[in-house]
Amino acid sequence: MEAVTRFRAASDRLVEADTAVRRAEADRLVAVAEMIDTYPAPTPIVSSLAAERVVSAGAAGAGVVGEFVALEVGALLGLGEPAAWSLVHDVANLRSRHPRLWAAVDGLRVEAWQARKVALAAEELSAEAARWVDARLADLWGSVPWPRIRRRLAGLIVRADADLARRRAEIVRRDRFLSIRHLGDGTSAIGGLIDTGAALQLEAVIARATSRMRKAGATEPLPVLAARALEELATPTTTDDNATGSPQLPLADVVVHIAAEALDTTGGDGAHVARVAARGGDVGPVLVDQLAHLLGHHRIRVLPVVDLAGDPSVDAYEIPDRLRRQVLIREDCSVFPYSTARSRSADLDHTVAYRRSTPGSPAPPGQTRISNLGPLARREHRAKTAGIWKVGQPEPGVYEWTNRTGRRWRVARGHTTRLPDKPGNAAPERCAERIDLIYTSSVTF
């Protein structure tokens, strides 16, 4: 009997913990809704390029909000801007387009993540159609398990807008894609959507290759042999009849980060690691002695070694490639708090705004230098230029941010840390001078 009593106590704690989690998640959604409602309306500033715009808070019928609100939400929750915008959109859609579901979340009859799945699935519907779906799901929350609700939801969306269902089906057929994700352990995951006819041909080619491997004595399971066959297809082993007979290898832009100690082969166990980044994304950490295998199927362009410890500068507004390369190697991602934007596709920002020359007052020298530059995604850059966010770089690679409410963050080497608010710290003032934005396209080196 005592064992049953202890088990009952443990189950009571589980229910209490689950209730607390649901309450906290619901309260978080409510807090985001309050931030949307109380976010200061954008006001014009001198630089029209950086001026904040009013954008849709969600789908049709969800209202509008200033476009920088997601930067505020993301910095507070440790989210990148895309994830923060997803949260803002879901909250705005839930309370405006799914009022019954919004009430169910508050009543703890449905988990917040499930509600967000519904809002996302119905975001292409009109506001009226979304409310129709909401009404027909209302009696299921808390009494029907999520997988059954999810199946019901798919059917309701088709019924709510048959034309949308047809368009989605056509888009799926039309929007083929291929995704290659490097796992960082010497392997990569491949996914995609291709034409069925082409897929059948690919299957046939792989089947012939695996059959040949079996006849040659291979004993690995069929999925392993299929992976090997695909690797053979991707590895250039044929020659171009119009060439000199050497394999026609693809040209790769690859950045290999090797620490100085990894080049010392006089001692140690030899387990030195390099980090490899290519056009398709990070390959991840690789043993130095594996580089030849990894890069052997490409023609490699070699660039000069970059000393990240230096602080070179130029007396010009434009950023030369050698400085740009050094900043982008030092900063893999945007230097905004918790940003997930990759630096290669970001803007390069002068932390202290560049001051141009005027009659009788030449521009100060050395303003464009490594210790005064940092990559920012476009919207992050505009929010900083607009003066809604302020940033300083007290030392190279360390960025200290302050938002309009006085909250502070430090970003250094890809890590974001919350800093204590300064006593009496007022909201940052808007920039009074005209500031130009440095817009850059994706950079490959």
């009788």: which residue's tokens?
Answer: 360
- Please state, as a whole number, how many other Cβ atoms lie within 10 Å of the Cβ of residue 292: 8
Three-class DSSP category at 281? strand
Residue 118 CB partners (closer than 8 Å, separation 6+): 94, 98, 101, 133, 137, 153
End-to-end CA distance of the chain, in Å?
71
One digit per residue, the tens of pLDDT, for the chain of length 445 reads 788 899 899 999 999 999 999 999 999 999 999 999 999 988 765 556 778 999 999 999 999 999 999 999 999 999 999 999 999 999 999 999 999 999 999 999 999 999 999 999 999 999 999 999 999 999 999 888 898 899 889 888 888 888 877 777 676 666 778 888 887 677 888 988 877 667 778 888 898 899 999 889 998 998 899 998 988 887 755 444 454 544 555 555 556 666 555 555 555 555 556 666 655 556 655 666 666 666 665 565 656 556 666 788 888 888 888 888 888 888 889 999 999 888 888 999 999 998 888 888 888 888 899 999 999 999 999 999 988 999 999 999 999 999 989 999 999 988 999 999 876 555 444 443 334 444 443 333 3
How far is Cα 123 from Cα 55, in angstroms, rounded to an integer?
16
User: Is 0.75 surpassed by the pTM of this model?
Assistant: no
Report the alpha-carbon distance of residue 343 to residue 445 in Å, rounded. Answer: 13
Distances 31 to 27, 87, 445 between C-alpha atoms, Å: 6, 11, 43
Please state the length of the chain: 445
Token pair for 10: 């443990």
Query: What residues contact residue 103 under an 8 Å CB cut-off, 6+ apart?
Result: none
Rounded-to-5 percentages of helix, strand, coil across the chain: 40, 20, 40
